Structure 1
Amino acid sequence: YFLARILQFQFYKGLCDAAGYKGPLHQCSFYGNKEAGQKFWAMLSKGASQPWQATLKEITGGDKLDAGPMIEYFTPVNEWLKQQNQGQMCGWQPPAAAAAAPKAP
């Protein structure tokens, strides 16, 4: 499940690249693009006939898992969240009594 999420964004970026898209990744649409469509169908037609790393290389140019495309896709919302949370305390603080209590050996 977790690997599928990473691969999803790698495939998405690979198809955007095949379509010649040059803008922010989150705005890419390869709908109706013949090059991206051919690359996609070529990948699907392989099925389980070869190792997944070979199929990944055919669509993305690399044979390793890479979370970079996922990070790139979500960069705008991440920047917005940083701005919204500026000056805010994130996480948990221990209760004052527990923090002041001596630790047991």
Structure 2
Amino acid sequence: MTGRSRYFVSYIIQFQFHRALCQEAEIFDPNKRRLKPLHQCDIYKHTRAGNLFGRMLQMGSSRPWPDAMEVLTGQREMDASGLLDYFKPLSDWLQRENSRTNEPLDWLKGECGIR
């Protein structure tokens, strides 16, 4: 994997980890509106989230990364849902604002140099 690829992959995984830890701390659940949105989650001093993160870190480099990811998230593959959940309030606002201002949501041919 190239340096640039690692950057993008790590960005997605950070949000996946953040989502899993916030769920473990019972601060965030995408199906429960009474809980905080993901962008407001702070796991500071949440023992369950810290213990889960510690279990993953204890593996070190002795196991393949999908094993470590499974310990933390319950899945062995990358998932962008953490990123989507984190930015959902912004996405919702943008949709409302674009609808309110009648902003076009696509590029017309020729405007962006595509012919």
What pairs up with 1:19-98 in 2 under 5 angstroms?
A: 19-22=25-28, 23=35, 24-86=37-99, 87-93=102-108, 94=110
Q: Aligned residues: percent identity? A: 38
Q: Compute the displacement of 1:62 (Å).
A: 0.8
Larger Rg: 1
Partners of 2:14 and 2:8 lie apart in 1 by 10
Question: How many residues align structurally?
Answer: 96
- Tell me the residue number matched to 1:12: 18
Q: Compute the displacement of 1:43 (Å).
A: 1.6
The one-letter code sitting in structure 1 at the alignment partner of 2:103 is Q
Deviations 1:17-58 (A, max 9, x none): 111224221221111011111111222222211011110010
The CA RMSD measured in Å over matched residues stands at 1.7
Using structure 2 for the length normalisation, give the TM-score.
0.74
Unaligned stretches of 5+ residues in structure 2: 1-6, 29-34
Using structure 1 for the length normalisation, give the TM-score.
0.81
Unaligned stretches of 5+ residues in structure 1: 100-105
